[in-house]
Amino acid sequence: MAFDRKAAIDYAKKHWTIPCDDGIFWLTYGSVNVAQKRKELKAPEADGWKAMFVRYDDAGEKAEKAIFKRGADEKLIADWDGLADCAHFLSKCLQAGGAKIDERGVGSLIRTLQARSDTKTLCQRVSQAGAQRVIDSGIFKNGDMIGYYNTDPKGDYGAIRYTHSTMYAGKSGSSDPGRVTCHTMSRFPGLSDVEDRWWLHSGTYEYTLIHFADDDGVIAPGTASSIAGWWKGMFGGDIYYYYFLRDGRARWTRTAPKNSATQLSREVAKGNAYWFDNAGTVTVIWQNSGGIEVWKPQSGGYKIDWSGRQGGATKVFP
């Protein structure tokens, strides 16, 4: 069954300020059972107490807490220090979309997503500019996932690793860079009072973009046949050798292949990519940089636009 992007986004919109429908939210050191907390704090739902996440000011900084609220009254469930529900919230969103994922940690969520046969990691730990290129390509879609790798020893508790995750929720217009939804801190495009542009903290993170690929356009057999194999790409006097596989993967190296039987492994290649077919025009997305190349057929090969840099490619072994 194809991943239902709308169902995943709809679930996020319904639950972005409240605990998920399993009645649990997660902290860095364990979970909170909302029903149990109702008993402990004497806050029954029948009496109008609603569980929710709310913002407050913490010495001039925005913070978030989980509370039971009834009118102007509130009872604290858990304070800002320790709230860590992003991976759980996104797992529930993905489940609503039909993906069987149930993770609590960001690192495990990223690994589980990347291991799926229906996803493609379009870019891995790239800069904000690189990730923006991928988002602007239009191949990254609503319901796809972003992993945030913290690079700042002063950020995210000083943990140099994946520390946050969000779901991409689209653009409001052509000038919009793109928005995300998540828990902790709670966000949904157009509804939240904190930053919901996809990068969140510029200069703090490297970004990994994971795409559910089962609703991508089918690669035309003619395109797959014509592009598979070795190509020599030239940008002025700069030469690259590209190796395309029929299944939508591509690699590059500076070393010319010895013959048509020469293969280029992922491990040996200088870069790895996925390519996408749109009526014969091929878009190549490089994982290690977020670089985008658009290959358009022309007599004798392809014309290449590489982020404004013009080049061309001819088949090495016609």
Backbone angles phi, psi at 105, to 5 degrees: -100, 150
Domain with CATH 2.40.128 in the chain: 221-315
CB atoms within 10 A of CB 236: 8
Can you spell out the DSSP letters for 156-195? GGG--SEEEEEEEEE-SSTT---EEEBTTTTB-TTT-SS-
Give which of 253, 293, 295 is closest to 271, Cα–Cα: 253
CB atoms within 10 A of CB 127: 17
Can you spell out the DSSP letters for 2-14? ---HHHHHHHHHH
Give the per-residue pLDDT at 309: 93
Beta-carbon contacts of residue 169 (< 8 Å; ≥ 6 apart): 9, 12, 142, 179, 180, 181, 188, 189
Give the per-residue pLDDT at 157: 80
- Lookup result for tokens 């006097």: 237
Residues in the chain: 318
List the beta bridge partners of residue 240.
233
pLDDT digit string (tens) for the chain, length 318 residues: 799 999 999 999 999 999 999 999 999 999 999 999 999 999 999 999 999 999 999 999 999 999 999 999 999 999 999 999 999 999 999 999 999 999 999 999 999 999 999 999 999 999 999 999 999 999 999 999 999 999 999 888 889 999 999 999 999 999 999 999 999 999 999 999 999 999 998 889 999 999 999 999 999 999 999 999 999 999 999 999 999 999 999 999 999 999 999 999 999 999 999 999 999 999 999 999 999 999 999 999 999 999 889 999 999 998
Query: What is the distance between the alpha carbons of residues 200 and 194, in angstroms, rounded to a whole number?
Result: 9
Strand residues in 161-308 grouped as ranges (E):
162-170, 179-181, 205-212, 229-235, 238-244, 249-253, 271-278, 281-286, 292-298, 301-306
CATH annotation of 221-315: 2.40.128
Give the per-residue pLDDT at 65: 98
Give the per-residue pLDDT at 56: 96
Query: What is the distance between the alpha carbons of residues 149 and 126, in angstroms, rounded to a whole number?
Result: 9
pTM above 0.85, yes or no: yes
Rounded to the nearest 10°, the torsion over CA 267, 135, 165, 36 is: -140
Give the per-residue pLDDT at 216: 95
Give the per-residue pLDDT at 225: 95
- Burial of residue 218 (CB within 10 Å: 0-12, 13-18, 19+) is exposed
